[in-house]
Amino acid sequence: MKVLTVCGLGQGTSLILKMNVESVLQSMGISGADVENTDVSSASSMNADFIITSQELSETLAGHSSTIIVVNNYFDEEEIKKALEPHVS
């Protein structure tokens, strides 16, 4: 499973989201997920199963072949878990 976490610059915030997504996936008992952080321009030309990002950036990525999952608070592992659950399990 390939997951992209996306922010505007692809440096800081998306990296934190990546670390939180990894820890959430681990707590859900899912191993072997490849989570990568990147900026919004690169993401639009990359292939992945899921893209996790904010509401604003999800509008820019509309039409992408990956399933886009919106998370508003990147630090809220509960919210990340709730957003991921319908897609992976």
Partner 1 sequence: MDIILWIAQNIFVTPAVLLGLIVLIGLLLQKKGPSQVISGTFKTIIGFLIINAGAGVIAGTLGIFEPMWKEVFNLESTALSDFMGQDAFSNEFGSMVAMAMTLGFLINVLLARFTKAKYIYLTGHMMFWTAMIFTGIVVNTVGTDVNFWGAVILLAVVLGIYWTVQPALTQPILRKITGNDNIALGHTSASVALLGALGGKLFGNKENDAEKLKLPKGLEFLRDSNVITALTMGILFVIGAIVVMTKSTPGAQELVASAGSQNFIVFAMIQSFTFAAGIAVVLMGVRMFIGELVPAFKGIATKIVPGAKPAFDVPIIFPFAPNAVVLGFLGAFVGALIWLVIIGNTVAYIFVPTMIVLFFHGAAAGVFGNATGGVRGALLGGFLTATVVAWGQYLMVTTFIGKTIPDTAMWAADSDMFILGPIVSFLAQLLL
**Residue ranges binding partner 1 (CB under 8 A):** 7-13, 15-16, 18-19, 36-42, 54, 56-57, 59-60, 72-75
Smallest distance from partner 1 to CB 30, Å:
16
Smallest distance from partner 1 to CB 38, Å:
7
Give the whole-angstrom CA distance, residue 27 versus residue 12. 23
Give the whole-angstrom CA distance, residue 15 versus residue 30. 19
Nearer to partner 1, 45 or 89 (CB): 45
Nearer to partner 1, 62 or 89 (CB): 62
Residues in CB range of 27: below 8 A, 6 or more apart: 77, 81
3-state class percentages of the chain: helix first, strand second, coil last, to nearest 5: 35, 20, 40
Nearer to partner 1, 47 or 89 (CB): 47
Smallest distance from partner 1 to CB 51, Å:
14
